[in-house]
């Protein structure tokens, strides 16, 4: 007869005891809600749970809150490594919630342009602005007719010498992707981003202050979310049992397989996330004291481009000596893959082509971001491909009535923005709160009664006559 050792018996027993815990069956829920990701969407959801006095756990893989919105000190001044523009401040919840002591001020509305080593003339600037207006009108028309086309398909043919510049402004600079990879319809429906603001202390500083006091678990990446029977969130620090979960990770992380789901995400859901994938956008930061370019605070400068190898310059950020050369789209992705020295070399050469070779001597220090290589982001911001509206709807459906997705990718008009991520997190939190309340108010199911079969009566004996 086969024998089993004591060690094998104990190991098997332990496995049997642990297995139900992974599926949320062995113990009561630890918290009402598990929130995965402490970026803008996760912070917004956590604040809503705190206001509703619900128990929650905010779980973050990285070692800081903020996600793609984080401020560091660089060259002695605040530096937004990721998001910097506060789009639509009048309707932006974060701008309205800005804590006292932070200076949120309007961004300049105009732009400057260079044609080779000189300023663009007034007539040239007018042609650039007219080209931008005509292009955006074409995208708006596509949104009204639901044309399932790429933005490049609708780029007007009469843009002349500014065609590549317009393609850069409305494609890579605005979304992180080239027009050939973008939905014209989604660009036409995108919320207006001409009215902007900056935070002098940094957008990431603003977001971090809004997260102050929230119980966030940092450096604790989620490896699996099991939701078939109950809900269990597995991390290196143990398994968390919750009644519901809000997953706010980026679309690129979602499709990377870094977080497993049980049951697995369907092909429809993975295809949807791929249509909302992140584009490439990086800052090449330059320290140029003394304003050698002769530009104003927060001046935005473009070049008359002749191909995709172009950039934008944000000069004298918040009145400091910090200058940002912005590279994005397929060219930015290729450049970033070559490493920081190549990125800085490009920025120096590009500036020299616009302001003269002597300007390179004015650059005292330099630094470049690499968002595509950030392990818990894998990109800069979501930008929708054709067919993204249906993709967004697919990811707004909760998994098994227990798991909701949130993030900037899932906002219909503010995709790619911190404000859109915040509103998405609030929306998901409201849906989870309704779900929890409805479940608690539902009448308890009566206990199932076990029916016992009556025993047959013993037949009476006939009396003898």
CATH 3.90.660.10 segments of the chain? 110-194+281-373
Q: Which residues contact 218 (CB under 8 A, 6 or more apart)?
A: 38, 60, 62, 63, 64, 65
Q: Cα-Cα-Cα-Cα dihedral of 158, 164, 168, 170, to 10°?
A: 0
Q: What is the mean pLDDT of residues 408-415?
A: 96
DSSP 195: S
Report the percent of the chain where pLDDT is more than 90. 82
Q: CATH 3.50.50.60 region(s) of the chain?
A: 6-66+211-276+379-438
The answer, yes or no, to whether residue 365 has pLDDT greater than 50, is yes
Classify domain 6-66+211-276+379-438 at the CATH superfamily level: FAD/NAD(P)-binding domain (3.50.50.60)
Please tell me the distance from the alpha carbon of residue 15 to that of residue 228, in angstroms, as a whole number. 19
pLDDT at 16: 34
**CA–CA–CA angle 382, 185, 427 (5° rounding):** 50
- Tokens (6 digits) for 269: 């859901």
pLDDT digits (tens, 9 = 90+) for 195-227: 899 999 999 999 999 999 999 999 999 999 999
Tell which CATH architecture fits domain 110-194+281-373.
Answer: Alpha-Beta Complex (3.90)
pLDDT on residue 459 = 47
Average pLDDT over residues 52-73: 97
Q: Which residue has the higher pLDDT, 464 or 97?
A: 97
Answering whether pTM is above 0.75, one says yes
The encoded tokens of residue 261 equal 């789901």
* Cα-Cα-Cα-Cα dihedral sign, residues 13, 14, 15, 21: positive
């Amino acid at each position: 007869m086969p024998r089993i050792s004591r060690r094998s018996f104990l190991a098997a027993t332990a496995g049997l005891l642990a297995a139900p815990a992974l599926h949320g069956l062995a113990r009561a829920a630890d918290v009402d809600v598990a929130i995965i990701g402490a970026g803008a969407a996760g912070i917004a959801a956590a604040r809503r749970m705190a206001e509703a006095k619900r128990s929650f756990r905010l779980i973050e893989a990285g070692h800081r809150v903020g996600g793609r919105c984080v401020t560091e000190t660089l060259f002695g001044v605040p530096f937004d490594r990721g998001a910097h523009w506060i789009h639509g401040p009048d309707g932006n919840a974060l701008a309205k919630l800005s804590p006292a002591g932070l200076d949120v001020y309007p961004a300049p509305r105009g732009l400057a342009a260079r044609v080779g080593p000189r300023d663009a003339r007034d007539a040239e600037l007018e042609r650039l602005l007219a080209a931008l207006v005509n292009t955006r009108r074409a995208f708006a028309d596509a949104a009204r007719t639901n044309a399932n086309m790429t933005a490049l398909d609708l780029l007007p043919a009469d843009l002349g010498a500014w065609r590549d510049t317009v393609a850069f402004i409305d494609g890579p600079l605005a979304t992180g992707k080239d027009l050939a990879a973008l939905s014209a319809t989604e660009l036409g429906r995108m919320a207006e981003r001409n009215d902007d603001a900056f935070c002098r202390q940094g957008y990431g500083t603003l977001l971090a202050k809004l997260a102050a006091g929230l119980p966030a678990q940092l450096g604790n990446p989620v490896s699996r979310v099991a939701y078939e029977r109950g809900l269990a969130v597995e991390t290196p620090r143990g398994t968390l049992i919750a009644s519901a979960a809000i997953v706010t990770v980026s679309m690129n992380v979602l499709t990377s397989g870094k977080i497993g789901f049980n049951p697995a995400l369907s092909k429809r859901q993975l295809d949807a996330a791929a249509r909302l994938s992140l584009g490439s956008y990086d800052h090449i930061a330059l320290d140029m004291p003394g304003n050698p370019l002769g530009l104003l605070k927060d001046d935005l400068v473009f070049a008359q481009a002749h191909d995709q190898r172009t950039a934008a310059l944000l000069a004298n950020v918040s009145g400091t000596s910090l200058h940002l050369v912005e590279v994005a789209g397929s060219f930015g992705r290729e450049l970033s893959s070559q490493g920081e020295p190549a990125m800085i070399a490009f920025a120096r050469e590009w500036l020299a082509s616009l302001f003269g070779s002597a300007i390179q001597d004015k650059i005292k220090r330099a630094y470049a971001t690499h968002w595509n290589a950030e392990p818990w982001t894998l990109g800069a911001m979501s930008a929708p491909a054709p067919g993204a509206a249906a993709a967004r709807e697919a990811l707004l459906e909760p998994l098994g009535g227990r798991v909701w997705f949130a993030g900037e990718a899932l906002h219909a008009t503010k995709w790619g923005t911190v404000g859109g991520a915040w509103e998405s997190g609030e929306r998901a939190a409201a849906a989870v709160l309704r779900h929890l309340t409805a479940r608690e108010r539902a009448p308890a199911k009566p206990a199932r009664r076990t029916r016992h079969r009556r025993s047959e009566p013993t037949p009476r004996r006939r009396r003898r006559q």
